[in-house]
């Protein structure tokens, strides 16, 4: 059946399913969000036959979800990259991930803590490369997850709000895993100079709007940037665990230590004690950079 043949021609759900209504197409979008661009890469990650993969990629290109970008003329070869239309599907993937984690793999309880599946997924990030993702920062700038000149203490958190802004969703404090965000952010602020001296920057990421982050950063006098993943770019690229509260997807608490080449060198998960986790991150950065070629590492030798 073609999309044009769907009886519910006025229904956005039906029309969307006409484009990405099979599991193979959605998983291709998932892999594209994670940085896979080559035909062989999709085949390796998904285990699809060449025929099935060719058909699915062709359909996604036809519908404007992916675009083909040539990288070789002889023989002709292309990268497959998400378009703006394709990136518009990322919140759908996050919703499916949250629903599957909560209701298929879990018992249906709303929680911001990491389950076994979450832990396995984020643990597998160690040794992988962080996709090139750019996010809006709270100061109006654009910031990337990887800094080619230094290490990054990259921490993801559910949300932190300035007093009087009425930002916290209803019954926020009753959801396990939501408390401690203010403490974690503030502790990174207090340890910021030490982390810089060790050769690392700090970057905090939540799904809050940049204006909410700016209000909190000003209240807490944070000396580092907060970045907004309100469109799910980072969460989809890294396949981060999420939960839904207050009508929006929220990031569960995870910290990644990323080297200047973009490789995840350590994963902190679960983060049970937000304040202690910052001191642990500082110790790890000092240890990991001690023998590296960073300026901080050279200064200590």
Q: Band of the pLDDT at 281, cuts 50, 70, 90?
A: very high
CATH code for 3-87?
1.10.10.10
Domain 109-300 has CATH 3.40.30.10: yes
Query: Looking at residue 290, what is its pLDDT?
Result: 85
9 neighbors 15 (Cβ within 8 angstroms): yes
pLDDT above 80 for 92: yes
Tokens (6 digits) for 8: 């519910």
pLDDT above 50 for 244: yes
Predicted confidence (pLDDT) per residue in 203-232, tens digit: 999 999 999 999 999 999 999 999 999 999
Q: Band of the pLDDT at 5, cuts 50, 70, 90?
A: low
Predicted confidence (pLDDT) per residue in 104-141, tens digit: 999 999 999 999 999 999 999 999 999 999 999 999 99
Closest CA to 210 of 298, 279, 136, 106: 136
DSSP string, 134-191: EEEETTS-EEES--TTSEEEEEE-S----TTS--SPTTGGGSTT-TTHHHHHHHHHHT
pTM (two decimals): 0.90
Q: Band of the pLDDT at 255, cuts 50, 70, 90?
A: very high
Place of tokens 């160690």: 126
The strand ranges marked E within the chain are: 66-72, 77-82, 134-137, 142-144, 151-156, 200-206, 225-228, 242-245, 248-251, 254-258, 264-268
123 neighbors 267 (Cβ within 8 angstroms): yes
Query: Looking at residue 88, what is its pLDDT?
Result: 96
pLDDT above 70 for 42: yes
pLDDT above 90 for 10: no
Domain locations along the chain: 3-87, 109-300
């Amino acid at each position: 059946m073609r999309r044009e043949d769907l009886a519910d021609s006025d229904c956005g759900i039906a029309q969307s399913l006409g484009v990405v209504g099979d599991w193979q197409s959605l998983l291709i979008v998932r892999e594209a969000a994670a940085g896979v661009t080559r035909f062989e890469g999709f085949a390796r990650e998904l285990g699809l036959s060449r025929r099935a993969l060719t058909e699915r990629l062709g359909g996604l290109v036809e519908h404007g979800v992916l675009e083909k970008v040539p990288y070789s003329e002889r023989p002709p070869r292309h990268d497959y990259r998400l378009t703006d239309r394709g990136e518009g599907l990322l919140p759908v993937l996050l919703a499916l991930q949250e629903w599957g984690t909560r209701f298929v793999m879990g018992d249906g309880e709303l929680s911001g803590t990491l389950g076994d599946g979450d832990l396995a997924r984020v643990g597998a990030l160690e040794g992988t490369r962080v996709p090139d993702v750019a996010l809006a920062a709270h100061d109006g700038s654009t910031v990337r997850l990887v800094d080619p000149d230094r290490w990054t203490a990259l921490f993801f958190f559910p949300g932190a709000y300035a007093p009087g802004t009425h930002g916290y969703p209803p019954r926020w404090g009753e959801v396990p895993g939501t408390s401690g965000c203010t403490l974690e952010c503030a502790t990174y602020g207090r340890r910021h100079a030490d982390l810089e001296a060790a050769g690392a920057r700090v970057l905090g990421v939540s799904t809050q709007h940049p204006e909410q982050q700016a209000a909190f950063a000003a209240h807490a006098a944070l000396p580092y940037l907060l970045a907004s993943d309100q469109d799910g770019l980072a969460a989809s690229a890294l396949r981060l665990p999420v939960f839904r509260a207050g009508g929006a997807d929220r990031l569960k608490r995870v910290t990644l230590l990323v080297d200047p080449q973009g490789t995840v060198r350590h994963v902190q998960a679960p983060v049970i004690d937000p304040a202690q986790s910052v001191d642990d991150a500082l110790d790890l950065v000092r240890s990991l950079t001690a023998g590296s070629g960073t300026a901080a590492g050279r200064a200590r030798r």
